[in-house]
Structure 1
Amino acid sequence: MNVDLKKIILIFLIFGISSCKSSGILELGNQKIKKEKLLYKDDFNKDLSSWIIEKEQRPNSEISIIEGKMDVNVAGGATIWSRQKIENNILIEYHRKVIIRGGENDRLSDLNQFWMAQDMTNSNLFTRSGSFGEYDSVRMYYAGIGGNRNTTTRFRKYPGNGERNLIYDLTGKTHLLEANKTYLIQILVFKGTTKVFVDDNEYFSYEDNEPLTEGYFGFRTVESHQEIDDFKIYKVEE
């Protein structure tokens, strides 16, 4: 292959990659998804007025903004709900880290999240104290990464009747947490299927016969110290 042809191929490849990035096309698993529109973002540079905090009343528990990140430092259970109601065909993404620096609440466990959450008996979802069992009556999806003291990673569907239906239970080291590592979390809800990606690796994919198509998103943890940043919600299409 001559030098000029190599240059042409290189230019073509660079142009192709740039075009794909600029158009917002992602390859998530075996699916190509286009970010059609940014619906909402929070860089946590101001305050937490766009969030509703439910946390157990324990000493030394605080959720605040520190150096442009949401800092979740709690001795008990906590859920931080986005006020933005979401609908089908969306991509949620954010960066998240479990902090282990010798602090009182530093524990490598429970990088958890709820999405498409609705309380079918109360139009106001945000009525709970942060205790995990109180959410059994909420209809939603749940992913718990590194739960049970970083021994399991699980995906559940809550039908809203008190049951917690286990769909995936992963125990391999590659699906557990590393201390002080910043993860990119992406949650896709698209045409009846929901998927969870961690650093571009597909952890869960669930084609739901009775899909949840609207509700709320919430960060969830218990007895942990975590940082969250770069929260975005996109409308997506193929």
Structure 2
Amino acid sequence: MTSRRAFGVLAAGAALAALAPAPAVSAVPRHGRRRLIAADDFRRGLGQWAVELEKGGTVAASRGVLEVDVPAGATVWFKRKLGGPYVIEYTATPVSAGGVNDRVSDLNNFWNAVDVRSPDDLFATPRGGAFAEYDYLKMYYSGYGANYNTTTRLRRYVGEAGVRPLLYDYNEPLLVANQPHRVRIVSDGSTVRWWNNRRLVFDHTDPEPYTSGHFAFRTTWSHFRIEDFTVWRIAS
């Protein structure tokens, strides 16, 4: 017969196991047939993007790079609404070169985002870039190397103020300064995956999935150079 104390130890162990880091083994994601449905090589400005800044900063696209150099919250939305099944890919490099905003932290994303206050038009509700303003969205949120590059998390927002359900909470993998991070996001029905440099970081099955909405680059007090943004339609 298991004692209450033993049961408590087992329960605590199970909780810790649920938050264990993703396997360190590199893996190559396989998606079968796919076709390009959207892209930006960042050579023709910000025409495909909408920018929300908390305290100003620089967001500019030229010469193949989206430069995000900001002192506080910044959200850079892809204007086109996306519906799954799809794969998003891009490369982001956290800059650490002595600049005032060169804090290596917060390679974050929103995707399949819908604002419950204006569900038919994400941009009909104004937002100013502060993190709490996004509580009213239903979406997935990944925070890679957040909180001064100490945490990597996945959340499923439900459109309620102060409610940000946490799905995964790791203390690694984390950002490496001045190194490219190749990100791949999979939205395929109930399957939600987020890869970095061919490592599967988040692998979630959602019984009530968000399957369409808007994508954004999200960060705060940081400096990133982003390149090679593509969106692929995949065979489900």
Structures share fold, TM-score greater than 0.5: yes
Structure 2-normalised TM-score?
0.84
Determine if contact 1:35/1:234 at 8 Å carries over to the other structure. no
Percent identical among aligned pairs is 38
Which stretches in structure 2 are left out of the alignment for 5+ residues? 1-26
**Contact 2:94–2:225 (Cα < 8 Å) also in 1:** yes
Task: Please name the residue that 2:145 is paired with.
Answer: 146
> 1:65, CA displacement in angstroms?
2.1
| Paired letter, 1:124 | D
Superposed CA RMSD:
1.3
Structure 1 position 73 matched with structure 2 position 72: no
1:142 alignment partner AA: Y
Q: Is the 8 A contact 2:87 2:231 kept in 1?
A: yes
1:124 to 121, 136, 143: 121
- Superimposed CA distance per residue, residues 106-158 of structure 1 (whole angstroms, 9 cap, x where no aligned partner): 00100000000001221332321000000011000000000000000000000
Which one of the candidate residues 208, 227, 230 is aligned to 2:228? 230
**Match for residue 168 of structure 2?**
168
Q: The residue matched to 1:187 in structure 2 has which SS?
A: strand
Match for residue 51 of structure 1 among 43, 49, 71: 49
CA spacing shift, 1:161–1:83, aligned 2, 3 Å: same
Partners in 1 of 2:67 and 2:192 — Cα distance?
A: 27
Runs of 4+ in 1 over 3 A off after TM superposition: none
User: What is the aligned partner in structure 2 of residue 21 from structure 1?
Assistant: none
Task: Spell out the pairing of 1:86-165 with structure 2 (5 A cutoff).
Answer: 86-122=82-118, 123-126=120-123, 127-162=126-161, 163-165=163-165
SS in 1 for 2:147: helix
Q: What is the TM-score of this pair, normalised by structure 1?
A: 0.84
Equivalent pair of 2:193/2:202 in contact (CA under 8 Å): yes
1:203 aligns with 2:201: yes
Which residue identity lines up with residue 55 of structure 1 in the other structure?
Answer: L
Distance 2:181 2:72 in 1: 23
Cα deviation, 1:178-220, whole Å, max 9, x if unaligned, reads 1001110000011211100001100001100100011000000
Kindly state the Cα deviation for residue 56 of structure 1 after the two structures are TM-superposed. Answer: 1.3
Structure 1 segments unaligned to the other structure (5+ residues): 1-25
| Residues 1:35 and 1:56: Cα distance change in structure 2 (over 3 Å) | farther
Whether contact under 8 Å (1:113, 1:217) holds in the other structure is yes
Give the distance between the partners of 1:129 and 1:225, measured in 2 at CA.
19
CA distance in 1, matches of 2:156, 2:117: 18
CA distance in 2, matches of 1:193, 1:65: 31
| Shift in CA distance, 105/66, structure 1 to aligned 2, threshold 3 Å | farther
Give me the whole-angstrom Cα distance separating, in 2, the residues matched to 1:41 and 1:147: 26
